[in-house]
Chains A and B, each alone.
Chain A
Amino acid sequence: MSLTYAFIAIIRRDLVLALRRRSEVANPLLFFVLVITLFPLGIGAQPNLLRAIAPGIIWVSALLAAMLSLDSLFRSDFDDGSLEQILLSPYPASILVLAKIVAHWLVTGLPLLAIAPLLAIFLGLPNQSLGVLLLTLLLGTPVLSLIGAIGVALTVGLRRGGMILSLLVLPLYVPVLIFASNAVAMASSGLPVQAQIYLLLAILLCALVLAPWPTAAALKMSIT
């Protein structure tokens, strides 16, 4: 039994759990779809306006959907004591925590990617920016899970941590929101977007390397 095996075992466990409590998985996705479908109804017959604000709508909805799903990341493990067992494992807690974050992204982030093209067409986003939209979501949503994990780890021990969680996490989400929606907006007017994509990639790599440690440390604090 090795660290790789433990990593995979945790991902597999969380995926099986997600499959057995589907509503938890479906909620963020449903929220994402609902918010985006309500915008055209609210704005009315102004396709040009809708097209102009589509990148922002999609990204703000994705961000809020990610926020909505965050609490489920460590909640049930905290409540039933599985978290204690994970932290007691001789393997590095940060790697095991990363496994949980990866599983969480697979369950809550990846479905957004799958449904986004459909919603983009629905909002009248030009076809040339579809690829960029998917790329920003692919790079950006894991960052949301990684940064969010730090916030959840800090607040999981509090009874009403929801409000504090949003205050902690939202400011850190802002750079992702700015670069990602800007990239999509630029792409729909046919401009180059390498700079934004590289920045998102850099943010993702930094978060991937730096987020698991504070998350593991915060979880250790939360279970005392």
Chain B
Amino acid sequence: MKISLPYLEGRGLSCIRDDRVLFEQLDFSLKSGQVLLLEGKNGSGKTSLLRILCGFREPDSGTVICCGETINDSPYYADLAYVGHLDGIKKELTVSENLKVSLALSQPGRYSMQQALAKVKLEGYDDVLVQALSAGQKRRLSLARLLITHNRLWILDEPFTSLDKEGIALIESLMIDHCLSGGMIVLTSHHETHLPGVDIQRIVLS
């Protein structure tokens, strides 16, 4: 693994929404094992930046570059996993049915479904319909998706929403694991994140 080359780079990114400039000429680069933490008030463009990184939105200027190429091709998407404001899980399906669909849409990753459910403390919930889960449990389920699929870059939008203290500690330990094994994370969070031993870059959007 080439540690020296940046994996993901943003060059001169700008985002304008309804004639309001959210951010301008934003540059960053992310290397293997690093975390990029986006901070800023509500409405400062954190989610917009994440959606630009996912390719859902075109930046109003600038480019996002992955391994020296622009991100419009599938190798980038094969390495990316996104958990946004919306969980992306179907409430009429069971926990394991949801994970099976996620798995089918991607390549298998480090953990099996059972291991991932154990990691996020949802073991034994396989055949429970998602609508019977609490908000925090749904959140954990959507984070379990990160573990079962192959990915290097996690893009997380407020991953700690509706999690309890224990849940937050759990996800933080998973994030540390991911970074120590060469993964990268871009996240927004209002919580103070404790990720000892991980190289964190902060971008403050205002």
Q: Given A9-B101, A81-B87, A84-B56, are A89 and B106 neighbors across the interface (CB < 8 Å)?
A: yes
Q: Looking at the complex, which of A14-22, A122-130, A191-199 is the stretch in contact with chain B? A: A14-22
**Distance (whole angstroms) from the CB of A151 to the closest CB of chain B:** 21
Residues of B within 8 A of A135 (CB): none
Query: How many inter-chain residue pairs (CB < 8 Å) link A and B?
Result: 82
Choice from A6, A80, A82 contacting B104 with Cβ under 8 Å: A6
Number of interface residues, chain A, beta carbon within 8 A:
28
Q: Which of A175-218 contact B (CB under 8 A)?
A: none
The answer to whether B88 has its CB under 8 Å from any CB of chain A is: yes
Say yes or no: B77 contacts A88, CB within 8 Å.
Answer: yes
Query: What CA separation (Å) do A9 and B99 show in the bound complex?
Result: 11
Residues of B within 8 A of A149 (CB): none
The answer to whether A73 has its CB under 8 Å from any CB of chain B is: no
Choice from A1, A82, A223 contacting B107 with Cβ under 8 Å: A1
Say yes or no: B92 contacts A17, CB within 8 Å.
Answer: yes
**Distance (whole angstroms) from the CB of B33 to the closest CB of chain A:** 23
Q: Given A88-B80, A224-B51, are A80 and B103 neighbors across the interface (CB < 8 Å)?
A: no
Say yes or no: A9 contacts B105, CB within 8 Å.
Answer: yes
Choice from B86, B97, B101, B107 contacting A81 with Cβ under 8 Å: B86
The answer to whether A10 has its CB under 8 Å from any CB of chain B is: yes
Residues of A within 8 A of B82 (CB): 84-85, 88
Q: Given A5-B104, A9-B101, A224-B51, are A80 and B90 neighbors across the interface (CB < 8 Å)?
A: yes
Q: Given A1-B107, A84-B82, are A224 and B92 neighbors across the interface (CB < 8 Å)?
A: no
The answer to whether B11 has its CB under 8 Å from any CB of chain A is: no
Query: What CA separation (Å) do A183 and B78 show in the bound complex?
Result: 48
Residues of A within 8 A of B106 (CB): 1, 89-90
Q: Report the interface size class on chain B.
A: 20 to 34
**Distance (whole angstroms) from the CB of B95 to the closest CB of chain A:** 14
Query: What CA separation (Å) do A85 and B14 show in the bound complex?
Result: 25
Choice from B77, B85, B90 contacting A90 with Cβ under 8 Å: B77
Say yes or no: B86 contacts A84, CB within 8 Å.
Answer: yes
Say yes or no: B93 contacts A13, CB within 8 Å.
Answer: yes
The answer to whether B54 has its CB under 8 Å from any CB of chain A is: yes
Residue of A nearest to B57 (CB): A224
Q: Which of B32-87 contact A (CB under 8 A)?
A: 51, 54-58, 74-75, 77-78, 80-82, 84-87
Query: What CA separation (Å) do A76 and B51 show in the bound complex?
Result: 20
Say yes or no: A13 contacts B97, CB within 8 Å.
Answer: yes
The answer to whether B116 has its CB under 8 Å from any CB of chain A is: no
The answer to whether B191 has its CB under 8 Å from any CB of chain A is: no
Q: Given A1-B103, A9-B104, are A220 and B87 neighbors across the interface (CB < 8 Å)?
A: no
**Distance (whole angstroms) from the CB of A66 to the closest CB of chain B:** 23
Say yes or no: B101 contacts A80, CB within 8 Å.
Answer: no
Q: Which residues of B contact A (CB under 8 A)?
A: 51, 54-58, 74-75, 77-78, 80-82, 84-93, 97, 100-108
Known pairs A17-B93, A82-B90, A84-B86. 18 more at Cβ < 8 A?
Answer: A9-B101, A9-B104, A13-B101, A16-B92, A17-B90, A17-B92, A21-B92, A80-B88, A80-B89, A81-B85, A84-B82, A85-B88, A88-B77, A88-B80, A89-B106, A91-B74, A220-B56, A223-B56
